Chains A and B, each alone.
Chain A
Amino acid sequence: MRSHLAEVGRSASVQGRVVYALLMREILTRYGRHNIGFLWLFVEPMLFTTGVTVLWTLTQALHGSSLPIVAFALTGYSSVLLWRNMPARCIGAIDPNLALMYHRNVRAIDIFLARVLLEAGGATISFVTLSLFYIYIGWLDPPADILTVAGGWLMIAWFGAALGMTLGALSEKSEMVERLWHPISYLAFPLSGAAFMVDALPPAARKYILYVPMVNGVEIVRQGYFGEQVRVHYDFFYMLACCVGLTWLALSQIEVVNRGVTPE
C-alpha cells in the first residue's frame, strides 16, 4: 500500500513538473519577451471585458434587471471568456507540440492541462483585477459573498476545461470540430447567461435555458456578487453532473488520442 502511494506520488510529481514546463514554454511562445510580455495573458481579456462593459453601458443594454450594468457586464463577460477560451486553445493543441511527444513523460493530457490552466488563470486574473479596480473607482460594490462567487467561477472553469479537453481530443480525429466550434461558441454566447438574468425570462423558458450548463454557473456567480438584490435560478447538481460527465468523456478521448499519437 505504502509503495503504491509512493508510486502515485512520483507520477504526480512528474506530471506536475511537465505541466509546469509546458506552461512556461507556452507563455514564452505565445507572448514572447516583447513589450509587456506575458501580462497580455490577462490584459487582453481585461480589454475585452472593459470594452463590453463600456459598450453595454453606453447602449443601456436591456438585461431585465435593475442591477448596475458594470457589475452585470463584468460577471457576464468574464464568465464567457472563462468557458470559451479554453476550448478555443485546446482545439488543435497537439499538432504544434507533436515533437515534444518524443519525451516519454510528455503526454497529450499534459499539453491540454497546460493550456487550460493558462487560459483559466488569465481569465481569473482579469476578473479579479477588474473587480478590484471597479470597486476601487466606485463603479462596483464589493461582492456579497466571495465564496459563492468563487464556487460559481470554479464550476464554469471546470466545465470549460472539460469541454476544452474533450473538443481538443476530438479535434485530433476530425477537422469538423474546429470548423463547428467557431459558430457554436458564437451562437452559445447569447444563450450562456452572460447577457441576461434567468429571472428576467418568462417562467416557461427558465426551465429550458437552465439546460445550458454555463447558465447555472453564471447565476451562481451573480448570486455571490449581488446577494439579496437578485433572484437567481440554477441547478447545482445538474451542472455538477455535466462537469463530471464531460470530464469522463475528455479523459477517455484523450486516452484514445494517446494511443494513436505519432511524433513527427
Chain B
Amino acid sequence: MISVDNVHKIYPTRAGDRVVLKDVSFTLARGEKLGVLGRNGAGKSTLARLISGAERPTSGTVEQGMSVSWPLAFGGAFQNALTGLDNVRFISRIYKQDYQSNIDFVADFTELGLYLREPVRSYSQGMRARLAFAVSMIIEFDCYLIDEVSAVGDARFHERCEVELFQKRADRAMLIISHDPEYVRKHCDRFAVLHEGDMTFYPDFEQAYDRHLRILHGEA
C-alpha cells in the first residue's frame, strides 16, 4: 500500500511561492487503480513524481509500501547522445536486471531494428515513446505511475501498451493521469480531481468528470 499523508508541495517562482499541492492525503492499495483528472498545471505530474520518490514533498510524508515505477510515459530519462541499447543497458544496471533478455524484449516491443544502435537524438517522437514504454516494462513493479501514455504513438503502439499494461499486469496498482477522460474511465476504479492544490476523490467516474468539466469551463 502507498500512503500519502498531509502532503504539501510548494515551488518557488519569481512571483513568489506557488502552492501546487495542499494537504493531500490518500492511500492506494495493491491492485487498486486511481485516475486523476485536472487541468494543465494542476499538479498531476508533480503528484506522480512525489509518489515515485523522485521528488520530496515540502511537508508531509509519502510511504511506499510496495515497489513503485517511475512516471511511465516519460521519455526524458534517456541520454540523447547514447544509443537505445546503451540506455537499456543503463536501466538494466540500475535495477540489477539481465541485460540480454531485456534487449530481446525491447527489440521485439519497439520494432526499432537498426535504430536501436543509433543515438536516441535521431529518433522521432513516436520511436522515443516506444523505447520509453518498452524500457519501463523491463522492470516489474507493484504499482505503475502512468502519465499520459496515450498521448503519443500510433494505434498499433496503443494496442501493444494496452496488452502489456492492462492485460499482463492487471493485478498491479496504478495511478493514471490523463487528459483523455475515456482512458481514465476505462482503466480506473477510483477517481480524483486535482484543482488549485486540492484533491477531491470520487468513487464514480461521472461525478469526477462532471467536476472536471466545470473546472475546465471556469465554473468551479
Asked if B86 contacts A262 (CB within 8 A), the reply is: no
Query: What B residues does A102 contact at CB under 8 A?
Result: 49, 52, 54, 70-71, 74, 76-77
> Chain A's nearest CB lies how many Å from the CB of B28?
16
Neighbouring B residues of A57 by C-beta, 8 Å: none
**Beta-carbon contacts under 8 Å, B81-97 to A:** 81-82, 86, 89-91, 93-96
Establish whether residues A99 and B76, one from each chain, have CB atoms under 8 Å apart when the complex forms.
yes
Give the residues in chain A near B209, CB-CB below 8 Å.
none
Q: Which residues of chain B from 139 to 184 have any CB-CB distance to chain A below 8 Å in the complex?
A: none
Q: How far is the CB of A219 from chain B (nearest CB, A)?
A: 40
B196 close to A (CB within 8 Å): no
Partner of B82, one of A18, A25, A101, A263: A25
Alpha-carbon distance between A32 and B95 when the two chains are bound, in angstroms: 23
Shortest Cβ distance from B21 into chain A, in angstroms? 13
CB–CB B11/A103 < 8 A:
no
In the complex, whether B56 has a CB less than 8 A from a CB of chain A is yes
- The residue from A29, A99, A106, A262 contacting B94, defined by CB atoms under 8 A apart: A106
Interface of A is mostly: helix
CA distance A172 to B70 in the complex (A): 24
Residue A38 at the B interface, CB < 8 A?
no
Residues 46-77 of B, flagged 1 when their CB comes within 8 A of A and 0 if not, give 00010011111000000000001011001011
Shortest Cβ distance from A26 into B: residue = B79
- Chain A nearest CB from B175 CB (Å) reads 15
With a CB–CB cut-off of 8 A, which chain A residues contact B205? none
Would you call A259 and B56 a contact (CB within 8 A)? yes
Query: What B residues does A263 contact at CB under 8 A?
Result: 49, 54-55
- Is A264 engaged at the interface, CB distance under 8 Å to the other chain? yes
Provide the residues of chain A in CB contact with B82, threshold 8 Å. Answer: 25, 28-29
Residue of B nearest to A98 (CB): B76
CB of A67 within 8 Å of the partner chain = no
| Number of A residues, CB within 8 Å of B | 23
Instruction: Assess the A20–B49 pair: CB atoms within 8 A.
Output: no
* Bound: A106/B82 CA distance, A: 18
Q: Please determine whether A103 and B76 come into contact, CB atoms closer than 8 angstroms.
A: no
| A99 touching B77 in the complex, CB below 8 Å, given contacts A105-B94, A262-B11, A263-B49 | yes
B52 touches A24 (CB 8 A): no
- In the complex, the answer to whether A99 meets B70 with C-beta atoms within 8 Å is no
The reply to whether A21 and B55 contact each other, CB–CB distance below 8 Å, is no
A207 at the interface (CB under 8 A from B): no
The answer to the question of A17 belonging to the interface, with a C-beta cut-off of 8 Å to chain B, is: yes
Q: Scoring A residues 100 to 120 as 1 if CB is less than 8 Å from chain B, else 0, what string do you get?
A: 111111100000000000000
The docked-state distance in angstroms from the alpha carbon of A21 to that of B111 is: 25
For residue A73, give the distance in angstroms from its CB to the closest CB of chain B: 35
- Alpha-carbon separation in the docked complex, A24 to B93 (Å): 10
Q: CB distance A17 to B93 under 8 Å?
A: yes
Whether B93 lies near A21 (C-beta < 8 A) is: yes
Interface centre among A104, A259, A264 (most CB of B within 10 A): A104
By beta carbon, the residue of chain B nearest A100 is B77
Q: Is A261 a contact partner of B96 (Cβ separation < 8 A)?
A: no
B residues less than 8 Å from A21 (CB atoms): 90, 93-94
- Nearest CB on B from A94, distance (A): 13
Is B133 an interface residue, CB under 8 A from the partner?
A: no
State the CA gap A100–B54 with chains docked (Å): 9
CB-nearest residue of chain A relative to B92? A21
Interface residues as binary, A221-264 with B (CB distance below 8 Å gives 1, 0 otherwise):
00000000000000000000000000000000000001101111
Q: Residue-by-residue, is A28-58 near B (CB-CB < 8 Å gives 1, otherwise 0)?
A: 1100100000000000000000000000000
Mask for A1-36, Cβ within 8 A of B = 1, else 0?
Answer: 000000000000000011011001100110010000
What are 20 A-B interface contacts by the 8 Å CB criterion? A17-B93, A17-B94, A21-B93, A24-B90, A25-B79, A25-B86, A29-B79, A29-B81, A32-B81, A100-B77, A103-B54, A103-B70, A103-B77, A103-B94, A104-B53, A104-B54, A105-B94, A259-B56, A262-B55, A263-B55
Given contacts A28-B86, A103-B70, A104-B68, 14 further A-B contacts (CB under 8 A): A17-B96, A24-B89, A25-B79, A101-B54, A102-B70, A102-B76, A103-B54, A103-B77, A104-B52, A105-B94, A105-B95, A259-B56, A262-B11, A263-B55
